[in-house]
Amino acid sequence: MSKHYEVLIIGGGTAGIMVASQLLKKNKKYKLAIIEPAQTHYYQPAWTLVGAGCYDYDKTARPMSKLIPKGCEWIQDFATSFTPENNLVSTKSNGTITYDYLVVAPGLAYDYSLVPGLENAIDKGVVCSNYTNPKHTWHVIKNFKRGTALFTQPTTPIKCGGAPQKIMYLAESYFKKKGLKNNIDIVFATPGGVIFGVKKIAETLMNVIDRKDINIRYNHKLVAIDAEKQIAWYELAKDVEAGGCVVISGENTAEQIDATFQYNYKDVKVTIDGNRYGIHFDMLHTAPPSVAPKFIQDSPLVNDSKWLDVNHHTLQHNKYHNIFGLGDVAALPTAKTGAAIRKQVPIVVDNITLLLKQNKMGTKSYNGYSSCPLVTDYGKMVLAEFDYNSNFIPDPQLKKMLIFDSSKEHKRLWLLKKYLLPYLYWNKMMKGKDV
């Protein structure tokens, strides 16, 4: 006989624990369970600071057992497949589990096959990633003395799209503090055509780029890493304009560079092989290519892009009406951040509570809110808050901290990132309290 729950939650990350905590605040008697194999829960937003040597990695970890709310059963297991027609989830060790309502929030997974060579290179030698091992990132940065420091990202959706550039800004600050700046060329190679999708934030960040003398290479699709030769291989995401020199080094002058490909040209070593451009690096930071976990991709719950297929505003599954999804796994056209989850959870909780009580949906609507705290220096930060339409929508509460324009760099925003947000996360968000 399989176990049955009113609400079954897949995933003990930010989304899963917040949903469970807020549901139990509504009604302590709900029969809830979370399926989550991991023993440790990490506050990953602080990993940017760990990678820059200004936050203790151990403080980002808490035992899962301390975070699963009282009244919610923890099934320490892997979900393996879904049979939504029968309201059934299969697990690796606990057989099948049935539910009245299912919340799918397992986060995302890394698929290194999308960038050949990266899996064997990452977190070794001069190749690092705050996403996987921020302690190794700090080791690389503090031991770097000269050459090309390449910061890049894949073309897939990733957690916090601004994270690959935050660590670059902090690394530049560190190099400058150590008197190494003249020995180092910093290059940011991005698949996008702009530094950030929200215009007001992009304007601030371009001023930061100018101040820090960083070379941006736009429309660069990362396709392979050669760790031995220290080359990151790219294909260009748009056609090279006739006569426009793009990434070739040597005799070409900055005046010849096509501005849609490069900003603030640096003559770093580049090898061309057919339609591929190889940027030579002496250190490399990247985010791993990200996908939905395999058991989600192989399920009937995904869209054509293999992400969880939910309504953009209600977060209800588009086909199975007793299934909801949120967090990084959801196919939502906004940034995958903890801040987005903070706004998604109350909508899922409201809908499930009303469905359980009155068999009807709530009226709350998710507007695509997400937020990216963009650390630009030790002691400075910009806070990008935006919706589905990339409108800049700062939180009115910031005025209480005397922050009147969060699109500009502020010391108080840095204090928010380093001290207040971790406190709110552990003591409010994880406990189902409104933040």
Q: How far apart are CA 416 and CA 383, in angstroms?
A: 10
Smallest CA-to-CA distance from 324 within 305, 341, 338 is with 341
Q: Among all chains, which residue has been given the structure tokens 């003249």?
A: 182
Non-local CB neighbours of 406 within 8 Å, separated by 6+ positions: 382, 383, 385, 394, 395, 398, 413
Q: How many CB atoms lie within 10 A of CB 210?
A: 11
Among 72, 128, 245, 372, the one annotated catalytic: 372
User: Is 72 among the residues known to form the active site?
Assistant: no
Question: Which amino acid type is present at position 18?
Answer: M
Q: Which of 72, 128, 160, 245 is catalytic?
A: 160
- 372 catalytic per annotation: yes
Phi first, then psi, for residue 252 (nearest 5°) are -70, 140
Long-range Cβ contact pairs of 360-367 (< 8 A, separation 24 or more)? 361/314, 361/316, 365/313, 365/314, 366/312, 366/313, 366/314, 366/315, 366/332, 367/313, 367/343
According to DSSP, the β-strands at 61-63 and 40-42 are: antiparallel
Partner residues linked to 302 by β-bridges: 308
CB atoms within 10 A of CB 145: 11
Task: Give the active site residues.
Answer: 160, 372
